[in-house]
Amino acid sequence: MSWQSKLLGFHMRALVKPYLARIEDPGVFAHDAGQMNLFLRPPPFMRRFSRPDGLTWISAGPVAEGKAVLYFHGGAYVAGSPENYAGPLAKLSDRCGIEVCAPRYRLAPEHPFPAAYHDAKRAWRNLRRLGYAPEDIVIGGDSAGGGLALALLSKLCLRGTPPRAAFAFSPWTDLALTGDSIRENAEADVMLPGERLEDVVELFLGRHRRTDPRASPLYAAFPNCPPVLLQYGEGEILRDDSRRMAERLRAYGAEVTEEVLPDVPHVWQILDGWIPEARASLQSAANFIQSSLDAKASR
């Protein structure tokens, strides 16, 4: 672990984790999470524009025509936006030479489940209407957005129209909260307080079944699944959401790559410019996207 990651982990444990443990108003959390883009450094010459169909396009540097990364942001289904993630997604685009499409999906508590899932499906349809073929799209996301991406992947696999590949950063795949790591890593996780997961699940799911595959892709089916990359931290409370997700996907014959790092914060990939582990993992994800789409890199 780098000294930068050690220092960042210390500050997250002292400041961010206690804040998340005590906050009660999701509106306050959503507002504060919206300020994080001040710390997520964009690359030079970042481009960003939004369409009326809810799709935000983000890139930096030359990009291949006719190919796209469909990315769903995290935020526990109550916070986040494409604008918050513009900097890291522009860096991902720059490294893989592919434009990133980041949909805006509805958030709880105003729009509880299954609103986000329906918006994810609509984003896929809108991308297809723009002329993108399934084999020219890679889908991905982080945390709750990673779970949303994998839920969409299941739907597309069942339809027989899967994307070329998929990836997820520390995805939340089991809203039934049955992973042992929630308890085992309660102290080790420098960012997420495990005791608050129950509150978020109730806020988002309400009376819906917690093992509904549209919310918990750990229980979904993935016939004829394309290659999947999962990146997660060994010390995260959501470690087992990724570990068991990999097992589930392999049970359906998918080629799954797991990249596991020790002592990194939740979704560390977006912290490029702050910790070296972020740049290395983001580059690895870019290599995966690039090789999946067989596109020329911008660098």
The DSSP line for the chain is --HHHHHHHHHIIIIIHHHHHH---HHHHHHHHGGGGGTSPPPTTEEEEE-TTSEEEEEES---TT-EEEEE--STTTS--TTTTHHHHHHHHHHHT-EEEEE----TTTS-TTHHHHHHHHHHHHHHHTT--GGGEEEEEETHHHHHHHHHHHHHHHHT---SEEEEES----TT---THHHHTTTT-SS--GGGHHHHHHHHHTTS-TT-TTT-GGG---TT---EEEEEETT-TTHHHHHHHHHHHHHTT--EEEEEESS--TTGGGGTTT-HHHHHHHHHHHHHHHHHHT-----
Flag whether pLDDT at 31 surpasses 80: no
Asked whether 169 and 231 are in contact (CB, 8 A), the reply is yes
Q: What is the mean pLDDT of the chain?
A: 92
pLDDT of residue 185: 97
Residue found under tokens 């919206």 = 34
Overall CATH class of domain 3-293: alpha beta
What are 254-291's pLDDT values in tens digits? Answer: 999 999 999 999 999 999 988 999 999 999 999 999 99
CA 20 centroid distance within chain: 19
* Percent of the chain predicted with pLDDT > 90: 79
195 is catalytic: no
Distance from C-alpha of 172 to C-alpha of 279, rounded to nearest angstrom: 22
pTM here is: 0.94
For 180-218, the pLDDT digits (tens) are 999 999 999 999 999 999 999 999 999 999 999 999 999
Give residue for tokens 């906050």: 23
pLDDT for the residue numbered 14: 85
Catalytic residue among 154, 170, 236, 281: 236
Residue 16 is predicted with a pLDDT of: 83
10 Å CB burial of residue 142 (0-12, 13-18, 19+) is: buried
Domain chopping of the chain, boundaries = 3-293
Q: How confident is the model at residue 3 (pLDDT cuts 50, 70, 90)?
A: confident
Whether residue 242 lies in the annotated active site: no
- In one letter, which amino acid is 258? E
Catalytic entry in 5, 59, 143, 281: 143
d(Cα 28, Cα 171) in Å, to the nearest integer?
A: 23
Which of 59, 242, 266, 298 does the annotation list as catalytic?
266
Specify whether 143 is catalytic.
yes
| Percent of the residues in the chain that have a pLDDT greater than 70, as a whole number | 94
Tell which residue, 252, 259, 267, has the closest CA to residue 154.
252
User: Tokens 């997604």 map to which residue?
Assistant: 89
As a whole number of angstroms, the distance between CA 44 and CA 29 comes to 29
